[in-house]
Amino acid sequence: MRMLSSRTAVVAVVLLFAWNGLVIGVYASSIPTLRARFNLDSLSLAALFFLTGAAAIASMQVCGRLADRVGARRVALTAMLPLVVAALGFALAPSYPVLLLAGVALGLGNGGIDVTMNAIAVQVEKRRERPIMSFFHGTWSIGNLAGAGSVVLVAQLTGWTPDPTVNAVALTTAAVGVAAFVVALRIVPETELVVHTTSSGEKVRIPKSAYLLGIMAIAFGLGEGASMDWSALHVTTVAHVDPTTGALGVTMLSAFMVVIRLVGDFLVRRFGRRVVVRFGGTCAAIGYLTAATMSSLPLLLIGWALVGLGMGMIAPQVYAVAGHQAGGRGLAVVVTFGYAAFLITPGIIGGLVSAVGIQHTMFLPAVLLLGLLVLARVLPPKGQDPSVGDAVDAGLPAQ
């Protein structure tokens, strides 16, 4: 079995993150086509989203505990399979009830792999001389962009209508998933089991720090959800441009999020997780304040670029610390908080948009993200982070 300290273990974690991002990207880009295919109204679409989200949250709680008990490898590999089923469902579902089942499969797989791939990533990072969590999350973002962009690219190259385009992309994604599973079966490393009882048999509680990290996850979950859902519409509305030009908002957001995640580990090594999260929260808050107060297209795009730059720094560090301090159980708590915030964001932001307008609504995520300046005290400062460099202390090889 591959060692957690090997380069192959890094490749294995990249595979899990990229595969998960690919499926979610394909799903997100397929929603308009699926809505038209089954003639879904707002209530029917909301039911799909709710079942998917509820299944994901339940899966996170179960899989987080199983990862500590039987090893994250087994749970992560198992969670890959429902994602393949979900991709097949997007292409082949003959009716709305079957589509709902595909949504449940997506939630079960996504919730399970979200917790377990982060748990494996934490243990891989622990045995390296340098942090690598931001890079892992960057590969998720790359997979997500590839999944979302594939629908547009295939349509442009083939001239197909939306239905056959989505079918082809979803079926290809399922095939990629089968291949990824076969490779993952060979290279994903075994992880250490996490014991939650003392030598006397007393149960060890989840540390309070996990819940503080969960509050941080709520802040960045809402901030990320608001940016993904509303940036394009915000630019279109405030700058008075056409929807195609308005899409530059989410493009700038996504591009800068990928960039910062690919270089984020250097920043963690140089400044420490606490400083990186504080800078990320400040940067994203300034971006949201720009979106809330400016109206020219160039300034709005700069604002959304700052949001992406800041948001991309936060989640990898919060998840890494949660995994190091509290194992799979604690990681499940934090991921659930962030995911739940992401899910309820459309309702919260939508209500505020109706009440005060889309531009003034952007003050809310700005305020929440500024709160990270205080909450970041729970993160270890530079020089006191035991999650980096443990390979040397334990006498393990660090690649």
Q: N- to C-terminal Cα distance for the chain?
A: 17
- Give me the phi and psi of 278, to 5 degrees please: -65, -40
pLDDT confidence band for 399 (50 / 70 / 90) = very low
197 DSSP 8-state letter:
B
Summary mean pLDDT of the chain: 89
- For 62-83, what is each residue's pLDDT tens digit? 999 899 899 999 999 999 999 9
DSSP 271-309: H-HHHHHHHHHHHHHHHHHHHHH--SHHHHHHHHHHHHH
Mean pLDDT of 179-192: 95
pLDDT confidence band for 334 (50 / 70 / 90) = very high
pLDDT confidence band for 264 (50 / 70 / 90) = very high
Residues in the chain: 399
Does the pLDDT of residue 284 top 90, yes or no?
Answer: yes
- For 17-65, what is each residue's pLDDT tens digit? 999 999 998 988 888 889 889 998 878 888 898 899 899 999 999 999 8
Q: According to the model, what pLDDT value does residue 308 have?
A: 93
108 or 30: which leads in pLDDT: 108
Does the pLDDT of residue 119 top 90, yes or no?
Answer: yes
46 or 13: which leads in pLDDT: 13
Residue range(s) in the chain whose domain bears CATH number 1.20.1250.20: 1-192, 206-382
List all residues 6 or more positions away from 201 whose beta carbon is below 8 Å from its beta carbon: none
Does the pLDDT of residue 392 top 90, yes or no?
Answer: no
Q: According to the model, what pLDDT value does residue 387 have?
A: 58
Does the pLDDT of residue 286 top 70, yes or no?
Answer: yes
Q: According to the model, what pLDDT value does residue 2 have?
A: 56
Q: Which amino acid is at 260?
A: I
- Give me the phi and psi of 250, to 5 degrees please: -70, -30
203 or 336: which leads in pLDDT: 336
Q: According to the model, what pLDDT value does residue 396 have?
A: 30
- For 164-184, what is each residue's pLDDT tens digit? 999 999 999 999 999 999 999
Does the pLDDT of residue 397 top 50, yes or no?
Answer: no
What is the C-alpha separation between 356 and 224, in angstroms, rounded? 20
The CATH H-level (homologous superfamily) assignment of domain 206-382 is MFS general substrate transporter like domains (1.20.1250.20)
Q: According to the model, what pLDDT value does residue 117 have?
A: 96
Q: What is the pTM of this model?
A: 0.85
Cβ contact 343:134 at 8 Å: no
Identify the residue whose tokens are 């990270």: 372
CB-count exposure of residue 240 (10 Å: 0-12, 13-18, 19+): exposed
What is the C-alpha separation between 237 and 221, in angstroms, rounded? 24
Q: According to the model, what pLDDT value does residue 200 have?
A: 63
Q: CATH: 3.40.50.1980, 3.30.390.30, 1.10.357.10, 1.20.1250.20. Which one for 1-192? A: 1.20.1250.20
